[in-house]
Chains A and B, each alone.
Chain A
Amino acid sequence: MSTIEAIQAPRSRYFFEALAPGGRRAFFLLGTVATCLLFAFPVFWLVLTSLRPGYAVYYVHRGSDFTLDNFREVLSQEIVLKALWNSFAIATLATVLSLGVTATSGYMLSRFRGTIPTAWFGAIYVFRCVPYVSWVLPLYFVTRAMGIFDTYWGLLLPHVAVHICFFSWIMKGFFDGIDPSMEYAAMIDGCSRWGAFLRVALPAAVPGLTALAVLCWLYTWNEFLFALILTAQNTPILTVVMAQFVHELGMEWHLMSATAVLALGPALIVTIFGQKYVIRGLKI
């Protein structure tokens, strides 16, 4: 009721509307440009730093010598190449595994009622809240004990564990939005429960899955804490390698920046192609 009255109340004049149409447009434009500058500046600075020779990085804003040597140098380091590949593989595999594991879990939360779903929902809600520090440190001991420390599995599975709670929750939302009678029809058409899930419900959830895949990939690609604690020399990860360039020992800002710009490339590609699907699919 109050909404309707409120809407019908006489038009009040606010600052924004008081501006002439031209002024409004200018205001809008100014705001947009300022926002873009604010968001782009750290990245811009990163790119600028990566293009400066090593001796000039302390005064990025002064002088005009630019070079691509930094990129040449980091790409000649074997550990960077290895880390690029490892990060890519881990991010991709973690995305596939996380989605696979949470699609089923979210589907079950969406389609069934009873003690099992309630208990599972409670569990993921609680474990979602647990801070990383309280498990990433013991996780170090656990992966060591399992003999998977500093291997793909030793980083992959914890990453999947990170995503289980949140993604199950979101996936439940996706499946809630899909009419279950489609699956009933499939079951009557000769599918088992698994068949109905895999061949009817899952394809219908593809927009949501795509959105999550993009976010999951970006998150894993950029993740640092787990990579720092759960890997060593055998499995270098890009974020860790980058951070090591500016370790107390050698402040190699130019190399760090060059690697970071390299790391930005795949993320940029994923975002540019994925943003449409993310916005379309991510309705919670």
Chain B
Amino acid sequence: MAEVILTNVRKTYGAVVAVEDLSLSIADHEFVVFVGPSGCGKSTTLRMIAGLEDTTRGTISIGSRVVNGLQPKDRDIAMVFQNYALYQHMSVYDNLAFGLRNRRVPAAQIDAAVRHAARTLSIETLLERRPRQLSGGQQQRVALGRCIVRNPKVFLFDEPLSNLDAQLRGQMRLEIKELRQRVPTTSVFVTHDQVEAMTLGDRIVVMKDGLMQQVGSPLELYRRPVNRFVASFIGSPAMNFFDVHVTAVPMGFRLSADGIDLELPQRRFAGLGAHAGRAVTIGVRPQHLRLGCTQVDQVGLSGQVMVTEQLGDEQVLAVRVGAGDIRVAGIDPELSLPTGTRINVAVPMDNLHLFDAASGVAIR
């Protein structure tokens, strides 16, 4: 059990910058999720923590020991790979025991640890099989088992669920959560799936193009994204954005664009003062839009229904507002809204997100 601290870590491959100036401290027992689009440097960061890649600059320490230059085997970590990376030529039992045997643990102790881990993950009946004879979910469990038998300081996960089908993925997500309550080891989890990030992480690190965008708890990221990228990445369906022009009016600001005309009070949106006469981006989550007329402390939009998606417990609408489409979620599934219907939607002012149109930075 240990904390992991990254200080000004940078990694380049020739001219390609994979990770740029990353500083992060992960507390003991914390579960941190790295999330971001493909190629943003998540795996590279994880592999640097594991010692599979050396850092170009910066230090990494695990449990208050600087580990730069230490071999992976000496870092006391365990890792689950996207394709499981089970040893194909060994039985499940030997896969689990391999790490302990490398460390010359007495056989009786190994046996106890293996059986305990197998029981924890309910794979006791599979111990004599080869990895090839297992289903995807079972292989995944063996890979997890290989980590927990060792009782390392840190668990590292590199997209462990992305090879599983949707249903199994949901189930394994729960199992990992449950496992965490029994084995609260410090963990770093890499994924490109924001649902996994939100459900698993104590804290989430959002990355893009090698740069860390924001660190925070799932709720913090959801409620207060620091920029347009984080806002668009977290939440499903994705946040709606539209560009508007700001003009100062008495006691407030007027935001207007084709088909959009909103007024926001000065009192609550003081940050807009600096943007008067310029363009900003409004962000609204589909879940925060409600059908109906504008009430107190709300702003409204109107548009035409283009497409409806029936999900059973709700409908999601695509609505044309001005020149752009927005999505509206949480609509009563019984409601019939043929294409072309004109509707009004409203959103509480508290749920509006405003970003600088050029830089994408949130306006507070």
A and B touch in the complex (CB under 8 A): yes
Q: Does A63 contact B (CB under 8 A)?
A: no
Chain B, 45-84, contact with A by CB distance < 8 Å: what is the 0/1 string?
A: 0010011100000000000000000011101011101110
Contact present for B81 and A181 (CB under 8 Å):
yes
Return the contact of A182 from the options B47, B51, B87, B150 (Cβ within 8 A): B87
Asked whether A188 lies within 8 Å of B102 as measured between CB atoms, the reply is: no
CA separation between A189 and B156, bound complex, in Å?
A: 12
Inter-subunit contact A186/B81 (CB<8 Å): no
Complex Cα distance, B78 from A190, in Å, reads 10
A185 lies within 8 A of B73 (CB): no
The answer, yes or no, to whether A179 is at the interface (CB within 8 Å) is yes
Chain A interface, number of residues (Cβ within 8 angstroms): 18
Complex contact B50–A184 (CB within 8 A): yes
Is there contact, CB below 8 Å, between B85 and A190? no
A187 engages B73 (CB within 8 Å) = yes
B-chain residues with CB within 8 Å of residue A200 when the two chains form the complex = 87
Within 8 A of B (CB), among A171-204: 179, 181-182, 184-193, 195, 200, 203-204
CB neighbours of B79 from chain A (8 A): 184-185, 188
Q: Is B88 an interface residue (CB 8 A)?
A: yes
Q: Quote the shortest CB–CB distance from B79 to chain A (angstroms).
A: 5
CB distance from A119 to the nearest CB of B (A): 18
CB within 8 Å for A190 and B83 given contacts A184-B50, A184-B72, A204-B88:
no
**Sample of 20 more A-B contacts, CB < 8 Å, known A181-B83, A187-B72, A203-B89:** A181-B81, A182-B85, A182-B88, A184-B47, A184-B50, A184-B72, A184-B81, A185-B146, A187-B52, A188-B72, A188-B78, A188-B79, A189-B98, A189-B99, A189-B102, A189-B146, A190-B73, A190-B103, A195-B102, A200-B87
Provide a sorted-by-A list of 15 A–B residue pairs whose CB atoms are within 8 angstroms.
Answer: A179-B85, A181-B83, A182-B85, A182-B86, A184-B50, A184-B85, A185-B79, A187-B51, A188-B51, A188-B77, A188-B78, A189-B78, A190-B99, A192-B71, A204-B88
Which B residues form the contact surface with A (CB < 8 A)? 47, 50-52, 71-73, 75, 77-79, 81-83, 85-89, 98-99, 102-103, 146, 150
